[in-house]
Amino acid sequence: MLTDAQNVAKRRHIQRASGAGVKISTISRTAPVLIAGPTASGKSALAMEIAARDGRLIVNADALQVYDMWRILSARPSAADEAALPHALFGHIGRDAPYSTGHWLRDVAPLLTRPIVIVGGTGLNFTALNTGLADIPPIPPAVRARANQMLADQGPQAMLAELDKATRLRIDTQNPARIQRAWEVLAATGRGLADWQAGTGPALLPLQNAQALVLQMDTGRLDARISQRFDAMMDMGALDEARAALPHWPDDGPPQPPPWTRAIGAPELIAHLRGQITLQDAIANAKLASRQYAKRQRTWFRNRMKNWAVINL
């Protein structure tokens, strides 16, 4: 395992290499800056450069980097980086605390009065920030339990078949979590998710009031970056991070595991620690999962964030 100094040096080398090619002279010094992009595309490096130039607060928009147990596997900024520049909404949530896009919006709202750069790979957070979020009532535990059982017995396609057409066209039909959420909303309220979303309130930060950037990178280069970064994560102690989470890791059920377990690479390393696969296979599977996640991110950005400025790296 590397020393703390070596970890910081390696992380910063990776960030500089992956974020190269962006001319920050073209980026506003006054408007809020939003930076989205697939995993390993260099978002954090660019955010730090802009924050250092303008004295901005760096605000997290990544759904996994909010959890306190995942610094390495979620690619959260290092402790040294967080000490060097002001950061917010990184590692502030425990594994058992509920945290959704609605929670994130409530946390972001009071920060919008400051000079900020918001950075992350979770497209839903940005979409909700720019267009608003439906005020859907909490899902009753009985509905959630029924949804979990249905997912286990029949799979997501059975849920998808019961959704209204407008909702099917709106959600990511390849994502079981999104399908289950839509099914739960319909079952609990009698209204489709698309109908709820059509009645959203005003946006916290309309797109025209910010400079919004999507980082884009050649797929082959991004795949190489993903592989290199996961190797670096292993050197920095990713396996130990997974080992610390092992006592809290759920068994094979429920069908929809807690959100904190979705850190890319964590399920694969847990499988190794449980003796189910070799470390070599765990690493290979984690890299594959990262590439698949990056593909889903690119699809979201392309379909849902068409009015963002694309930065080709």
Q: What is the pLDDT of residues 154-182, one digit of tens each?
A: 999 999 999 999 999 989 898 898 899 99
Q: Could you tell me the two tokens for 295?
A: 């593909």
Cα 99 from Cα 93, distance rounded (Å): 8
- Three state DSSP letters for the chain: CCCHHHHHHHHHHHHHHHHCCCCHHHCCCCCCEEEECCCCCCHHHHHHHHHHHHCCEEEECCCCCCECCCCCCCCCCCHHHHHHCCEECCCCECCCCCCCHHHHHHHHHHHHHCCEEEEECCHHHHHHHHHCCCCCCCCCHHHHHHHHHHHHHHCHHHHHHHCCHHHHHHCCCCCHHHHHHHHHHHHHHCCCHHHHHHCCCCCCCCHHHCEEEEEECCHHHHHHHHHHHHHHHHHHCHHHHHHHHHHHCCCCCCCCCCHHHHCCCHHHHHHHHCCCCCHHHHHHHHHHHHHHHHHHHHHHHHHHCCCCEEEEC
Contacts of 27 (CB under 8 A, 6+ apart): 33, 50, 211, 213
Residue tagged 């429920």 (tokens): 254
- Inform me whether the pLDDT recorded for 61 exceeds 90: yes
Q: What is the pLDDT of residues 63-120, one digit of tens each?
A: 999 999 999 999 999 999 999 999 999 999 999 998 999 999 999 999 999 999 999 9
Cα 167 from Cα 150, distance rounded (Å): 19
Q: Could you tell me the two tokens for 157?
A: 């396609």
Q: Could you tell me the two tokens for 238?
A: 């990713």
Superfamily holding 1-133+210-313: P-loop containing nucleotide triphosphate hydrolases (3.40.50.300)
- Sign of dihedral through CA atoms 66, 39, 253, 182? positive
User: Which residues face 212 on adjacent strands?
Assistant: 34
pTM: 0.83
Sort 138 into a burial class: Cβ within 10 Å, 0-12 / 13-18 / 19+: exposed
Q: Could you tell me the two tokens for 21?
A: 């090619």
pLDDT number for residue 255: 63
- Inform me whether the pLDDT recorded for 235 exceeds 80: yes
- Sign of dihedral through CA atoms 239, 245, 251, 252? negative
pLDDT number for residue 11: 46
Cα 21 from Cα 233, distance rounded (Å): 24
- Sign of dihedral through CA atoms 106, 107, 113, 115? negative
pLDDT number for residue 254: 54
Average pLDDT over residues 142-147: 94
- Inform me whether the pLDDT recorded for 198 exceeds 90: no
Contacts of 55 (CB under 8 A, 6+ apart): 115
- Sign of dihedral through CA atoms 246, 250, 252, 258? negative
pLDDT number for residue 21: 58
- Inform me whether the pLDDT recorded for 4 exceeds 70: no
pLDDT number for residue 2: 41
pLDDT number for residue 271: 97
User: Which residues face 216 on adjacent strands?
Assistant: 312
Cα 17 from Cα 207, distance rounded (Å): 29
Q: What is the pLDDT of residues 5-38, one digit of tens each?
A: 444 444 443 344 344 457 889 999 999 999 999 9
- Sign of dihedral through CA atoms 194, 195, 198, 201? negative
User: Which residues face 119 on adjacent strands?
Assistant: 35, 60
Domain parsing of the chain, residue ranges: 1-133+210-313, 141-198
Between 229 and 1, whose confidence is greater? 229
Q: What is the pLDDT of residues 244-301, one digit of tens each?
A: 999 999 987 556 789 999 999 999 999 999 999 999 999 999 999 999 999 999 999 9
Is domain 141-198 in CATH 3.40.190.10, yes or no? no
